[in-house]
Amino acid sequence: MTRPDLLTDDFRALSARLGSDPLQVQGPGGNTSIKGDGVMWIKASGTELADAMGTNIFVAVDRNAAKAEAGGAGDGTCKATVLDPAVTLRPSIETTFHAAFDHAVVAHTHSVATLVHAISPQGRDAALDKLAGLPCAMVPYAKPGLPLTGEILARTGPDTQVVILQNHGLICAGATVAEVSDLIADVERRLALPPCATAHTPPADPAPTGFAWAPQGWLATDPRAAALARAGSYYPDHVVFLGPALPRGDHAETPPAILVEGQGLALRDGATPSQRAMVQCLHDVLSRLPADWDAVPIGSAAEAELLNWDAEKYRQALAARS
């Protein structure tokens, strides 16, 4: 039994609201789940939370089997835990940590306010201070999937409801959809940071061949933002959809976006909605980073893990069709 009754209008509405807000979720990022009586519905890999009200983006899995995979009894993909063999959707690559939470409702977002704190050593300390009084944990960066689930399990307990994932995002868990919605709102209020002025006039010169000037040109004209954008990737979905960092020019790997320093940011003709969303995400994050906070990339080894991972190639392929 797959318990479709778990997919309530309230749960779908929360999922769609998060997915429709670029300060919460960008493109096919983020995931939500709801569980009961051994069944867990979770967003399928490569689908978008924004479509939760009108499209079948969720897949039902055996929660206990997925929880066992979280503990090492399986390959961590949770493909074998799908309850309906006719379903071709894959469970999210983060199904194991959703299953590991005993709370009925779990929401994982790539909240911009959280990312600003989570990519910075000073920001992480500030986040813990700002979230004081909440059942909160801080988890170091790990590759999504089983490695990340292992880090979460090592640093959370049954009462943990808020998790800051370094260089990744936010998890909120609760007994009801309303409780999770309220938790997210509380975290967002506590972590909110205003953006700096990012007004930008597109260059009069034409963009490089095969590209068009993007509205996020501040990333190229602000010296600090440009240096940070070139220095590395700060969270997984940047790597998955834009590649490592932002390059100064086109190259053989056909980057979807390039920084033309002092002029603007150029997007490749035919850039996907997911790629455009991730450019905006980088703009939103760096424009909120306080001047006295550092930003630490995930590093070239972590980037290589993501770029050579079949699960992410699958998600890229689905996103490219949209």
Is pTM beyond 0.75? Reply is: yes
Residue 280 is assigned to a structural domain of this protein: yes
Please write the tens of the pLDDT for every residue from 171-210. 999 999 999 999 999 999 999 999 999 999 999 999 999 9
CA neighbor of 168 nearest in space, from 270, 272, 25: 25
Shared domain check, 65 and 183: yes
Residue matched to tokens 């689905």: 318
CA neighbor of 240 nearest in space, from 259, 260, 256: 256
Please write the tens of the pLDDT for every residue from 255-270. 999 999 899 999 999 9
Output the six-digit token pair for 86: 């006719």
Please write the tens of the pLDDT for every residue from 23-63. 999 999 999 999 999 999 999 999 999 999 999 999 999 99
Please write the tens of the pLDDT for every residue from 85-121. 999 999 999 999 999 999 999 999 999 999 999 999 9
- The 3-class SS string of 122-169 reads HHHHHHHHHCCCCCEEEECCCCCCHHHHHHHHHHCCCCCCEEEECCCE
User: Once rounded to an integer, what is the mean pLDDT over residues 150-177?
Assistant: 98
Contact 35, 176 (CB under 8 A): no
User: Once rounded to an integer, what is the mean pLDDT over residues 153-181?
Assistant: 98
Shared domain check, 146 and 267: no
Contact 190, 129 (CB under 8 A): no
Whether 235 has a pLDDT exceeding 80, the answer reads yes
Whether 239 has a pLDDT exceeding 80, the answer reads yes
pLDDT at 318: 44
Expressed as residue numbers, the domain containing 312 is: 211-321
Count of structural domains, the chain = 2
CATH number reported for the structural domain that contains residue 80 in this entry? 3.40.225.10
Shared domain check, 180 and 78: yes
Shared domain check, 223 and 112: no
Residue-averaged pLDDT of the chain: 95
Residue matched to tokens 């051994």: 38
Which residue(s) pair with 107 in the sheet? 32, 172
d(CA 117, CA 125): 8
User: Once rounded to an integer, what is the mean pLDDT over residues 217-241?
Assistant: 96
Residue 199 is assigned to a structural domain of this protein: no
Shared domain check, 315 and 171: no
3-state SS class at 294: coil
User: Once rounded to an integer, what is the mean pLDDT over residues 285-303?
Assistant: 97
Whether 21 has a pLDDT exceeding 60, the answer reads yes
Burial class (CB in 10 A: 0-12, 13-18, 19+), 253: exposed
